Structure 1
Amino acid sequence: RPLVFDKMESLVREMQDPENGVPVRSQKLFLTSIPSAFMGYDMIEWLMERLNIEDSVEAIHMANLLCQHGYFFPVGECNKNLSVKDDSSLYRFQTPYYWASQNHSPENSEYVIYLYKRSLRNKQKHGLEEYELEALSRLKRQMAHKWEFIVMQAEEQVRLAKDRKKGDKIVTDSQERAYWRAYRPPPSFLNCLEQPPFPTNSSWISLAPSSNQRDDSAGASCTTASGQLVRARIKVSVAAETLQQHCATYSEYDPFLHTPQPSNPWLSDDPTYWILNAAAVEVPTEKRAKRWAISIEDLVTDQTGLQELTNYLRKEYSHENIRFWLATNQLRSGPASKILHRVQEIYQEFLAPGAPCEINIDGRTMDIVQHEMKRPSRFTFDKAAEHVYNLLLKKDCYPRFVRSDHYKQLLANALQPCQKKRFFSFGATGKKKSIVAATSGVSGIG
């Protein structure tokens, strides 16, 4: 689990301390008594004192993060935006059972039981919102094969809830509702608990092997592990030499080791250096174009270099590989609401049989992609993208680009900024007096 959960939860536990924490008690709202609640300005004041925060805006920001991660919630506003106000608004702590560190990915079966349970109760207090009704009908169609079990579970939970005390029932219902508000938020609302932007272990699981394949795989793993024990490690001298070569290669591109051309923007007000080295330019500088020939990483991490590589591959009628690689990179950082739609678009354009821009990958990689398509995510095409990058772009397209007339023409037309001359250098030719000479002259006069 992420370390940030430990930090947040330790702070929340301090907030719940009966003696030194945020004061929690039954609050009066008009003629209604609200149990186990605290006020917004009490929490903001506690955070400012505990964390030595001088500005209340920073304390409100910290409280909003804790609220959006589900550690407490506004009372009576679970269907609205999870935000904290520095006033008398009421909030309630979430039970540790529903903390983010305990429930990373709740199942759809749990969600549909919760929705159906609310539909069985008083519609005035527990009525479903429009987006929840749509989710209930959709999940009912998907889980038709076990709908009887879901109905039985929901009815049993409703029956058990009737035996609880009224105060406990109010607190428990609000905590459960706030939990699903954080994990299944309304459309267009912020969700801090969605799938993290890095692949989990389940994203890299390949197709389930047979028993014989498992035995062979276990034997191969033992052989590999035994070989690792006796494998010679790289020598320090070789590592130092490699590091020295790397520094020698990239030293001329370091603006602190070599004077930038045409002028040093850190010492002057001339913006020419930033203009010539902007992310996207029509004509690159010669130094910038030469760097593209060092490695493919230097080429694709430069926006202008990536555009030139794409233009070259388009002329060679082989730009589907770079387009697929770019599409998978955009998929990893795209919005969660469009992932399923974007995964289908990429598959139909590049991987489906008879696709308009079909890429060439081996059968094993295609099997992994087909397996990942059953549970689409940001990382569905990572194995295919790795195959395209290492075997097609790096070993085929990139060497052809560096040797091509297109790249040679770029070098020939590249800009060569020269260092600007100083027309006025007042006092630059004269020698400055040293501190020692000036001091001796003063003593001689005295």
Structure 2
Amino acid sequence: MGQSLTIIGSERSARRKKQKADELGDTPTVSLTAASVTDLDNVTQHQIVYKKMEQLMDRMQDENIGLRVRTVNKFRAKVPSVFTGTDLIIWMMNNLDVDDQVEALYLANLLSSHGYLFPIDDHFLNVKNDGSYYRFQTPYYWPSNIFDPENTDYAVYLCKRTMQNKKRLELADYEAENLAKLQKVLSRKWEFVFLQAEAQSKVDKKRDRMERKVLDSQERAFWDVHRPMPGTIITTEIDYRKLKRYKDVTTLPNGDINNLLPIPPPIKIINKPTVESLKKDITAMRLKLDRRNIKLSKIADTYITYFEQYAEYDPFFTPPEISNPWLLDNIEVWDCEKHSSMFCYRKEVTVRRIKRWAFSLKELLADPAGKEHFTKFLEKEFSCENLKFWEAVQNLKKLPQREVPEAAQEIWTEYLSGDSLNIDSQSRELSRKNMSAPDRWAFDIAAVHVYHLMKSDSYQRYIRSEMYKEYLNTSKKKTSMKGIRSIVSFSGKRDICPS
């Protein structure tokens, strides 16, 4: 709405200026004609506003009749190329056909909101009729010359600001939040963003101090237009629905550009595909199939490592130690001791099972033989209470409801009432509160704490211990001896001849 008001107000002022010029013999000013627009096909609702504003900015920056720009001293520091808000309003009153200060202030705020001039000490692009300082934007950053910037450019700018140890360049709260969000979104190419920001920062340091101040403020104002602070309007947004309805530009008899007129949508002519076009499509599709579009992330690498580690224990890839009795006539699995674990406990433990104990504490405790061997190790180190307490808590969850209070009281009396179990005071106090109405999960927090202690301390010492290494080497020797005996017995049977 602000842009349409600007168009109407500017055209009204232009016509009044033209009438006065005809009376006084002066040249007309601030009027957008069809000749001033080089490419009418690309004219949009924004470009019409920008052209009129830029003609006004050219007059403001004229050396003879323009606004006086000067360098002032502020708190023992020089502030280059500035003018005050009062000077701007007075210039508009004297050089433009505006009725009062309110209209001049409205026009100045429109220029500031579009980024043609900006306050040097504020992110909010607003003009006040006082002694606050403002600065003209360089034509390079004018909206008509800049396409919509990408998030990567904004990330480079914010990252560069963090590298410069200047109080005036510190990030605002909303900018710091935007930087954190961009760092998550652009995590894959953040190294590139950082290198770009570092290179730009080095180039800025080589510039003159006064020139660097001006350029820093102009770049900040550019991003205040395209990435404004919360609560402000983005003036560079395009109404694409209106742009679809209005595509043509017509001229009035006096040469002014008329409002955009609607035209019917173009009729699309669909041609029949030829053999050559189909061959090109097939070639392009084959190239897409050969190209690898998925980037392997850390999660994918973790999954690959996991499956490579467990490939030896996957029955689809490696035959299991005990064959399936439903597929083969092998009753070995029924002869094993009855146990709920997937690995039945046997006196002879294979090397594959012992190697699996080193994967994690969970794998070690899931194997009855591994749990028994780990218990012997803890007994040697006088720290078996942790494992016994954790097993008691797991067994508590399997008991019938009527037996839970009595079993919970026994666990509390044996492990937690005294100092036999090494847990933190917070877990002990929570367990004490849960004992007022004991249930299956009364000691879950303490059990988790004990499990992490075993995982980070006892289990690591067990894997590095000589006890585990000797057990593994002994199993390897037994396996090799079995192979030798089977070969010897097989060869001996072949040498026996019937008498």
Under TM normalisation by the shorter chain, which class is it? 0.3 to 0.5
Give the greater-gyration-radius structure (CA): 2
Q: TM-score, normalized by length of structure 1?
A: 0.44
Q: TM-score, normalized by length of structure 2?
A: 0.39
